[in-house]
Structure 1
Amino acid sequence: MISDVYRHYKSGTSTYASYHVGPLPIDGPDPAPKPNLFRIHPAVSPSGQEWYVLDERVDLATAYFHTHLLMGAPSGPLPADDLAAGRYEIRLELFDTAGNLVNWTNAGIDLKVPTVPAPFGTGDVHADHADPYNRILAADGKTLGFRMVVRVDNNRCQADVHPVGGTVTPDALCGFHNYGSPGDTATLSFMARHPNNFATYAFSTVRGDGPELAVAGTSGTVGDGGHNAFVPAGAFQYAKPISVSALLGPCPNAAFSELLTVGATATDGYSTLSGYNMTDHAAFALAKPCPSCGQP
């Protein structure tokens, strides 16, 4: 947590100046008593005018935890697994101007946490005294700080639509499959992967220009048991054999498109990290072979 933190305040009639909160330098004209300290900004700004929240990500930030820089975090275009994924303990401690650790109990500082999970929305939010789990305690049971455990997971999703299988003729290269009877099956399958299952998936199949075929679509959480008869067929793999008649409907021959979207559930505190999502698509055709087609 080494990035600078600032607060904005009004300075004059049309200027909003920034106030450096930390981390504070330990040398210079106004050195901090020890490294990595952050100011609690004063009730009154340097100009004597109001503090302003111009940007929530700046003016309400306590510190910036750059999880993508952790040892083992994935980098580059390949979807390598995040070896740094896991739970991390973050501590909030208070120090006086001499750099001494403050005993919250002795100082009369209370510690409360919300009783409802975030995001809070527009309803009332109540807080209650924090449990010992969230407290950094001294040997005598007095509170020395706040302990928060967060889960970090920067894994990228993976999505892969597989070639059609089943009893229709195989054609992984061009995707053009012949069938002998409407009772033949075309097995649709795909991979929706997130190493720790923190993702959802949606798979759909469209004949021609649509709509989506209910029999050939599914959605769920990565790693779960599957839905709509798409069952696990290996690690993060799902498959379903579907009759040719159910896919063709009124058509003797038809072309299809398949779309798979895998979306990460990780957030940055404001919104999901959509850059970790992955999609894949494929196309195939089903056709009844011509009886002779002019062949001798």
Structure 2
Amino acid sequence: MELTSPEARRRYDAVVAVAKDTVVALDFDGTLSPIVVDPAEAHIHDEAADVLVDLAEVVRAIAVVTGRPARQALALGGLDEVGDRMSGSGRELYLFGQYGNERWSSTNRRVISPRPPHGLSSFLRELPGILRRAGTPEAYVEEKGLAVAVHTRRLADPEAAFERLLPMLRDAASRNDLMIEPGRLVAEVRAPGMHKGIAVHTLVEELGATGFVFGGDDRGDLEAFAAVAELRAAGLATLLVCAEDPGAEGPEELLELADIVVPGPDGVLALLRQLHADAR
């Protein structure tokens, strides 16, 4: 792991000291699962389940906080089984899907979800025309129920296509009272008012945590990073981890805030193994 400063070393040690009251929260794509061309094939890292179950023995709780629909993350991550295995140590697995709009836990196995946002259906009707005007009719559209993600990763020149498409998507989102979350060759359109930072504060308040670790890889994790910084200012032991894609430069905003930078899911799991060993 790459510690970004001497202060980062002290922050890591502080989290280890309060591990039993620490929540470890992780993004899914790019953090627990490698980034792939087809989002439907983004399965959790082969070793992630074992690492998470082991880590649960020494921390307060583990959470997955993702932009994916909760049911999709459950299936791709095998999180039902992971939660079952954690129950042996009396620990709970939490899942916040669609940036916190959906909730699931290994104790309450029901996904709690609100209605789709007003304006999303209108946006979807506009979308085919937007894609044609941007010259990206083959962009992959992922309907998530509460949001829509448009991916250019499959296109011949994905970066140029994304640059043409993003302003048009932003305008359409604004017209329909929606917000847009740009990421790595993907833009997600959803309702305003919920983000990963709220999920972070919810976990701390509900679990009474005195330590918090968050690991993410993209701009959709910025609100979570900001929330962890607020917790740090309030006196909690915290650690921010950026999972940088080995094949691409990570988002500058996350890199500037991170205490530790690791190479993708492999690096995340190596860090979690180290945290488990140091906290035992």
- TM-score by length of structure 1 reads 0.22
Instruction: Answer with 1 or 2: which has the greater Rg.
Output: 1
Bigger share in helix: 2
- TM-score by length of structure 2 reads 0.23
Bigger share in strand: 1
Larger relative CO (CA 8 A, sep 6+): 1 or 2? 2
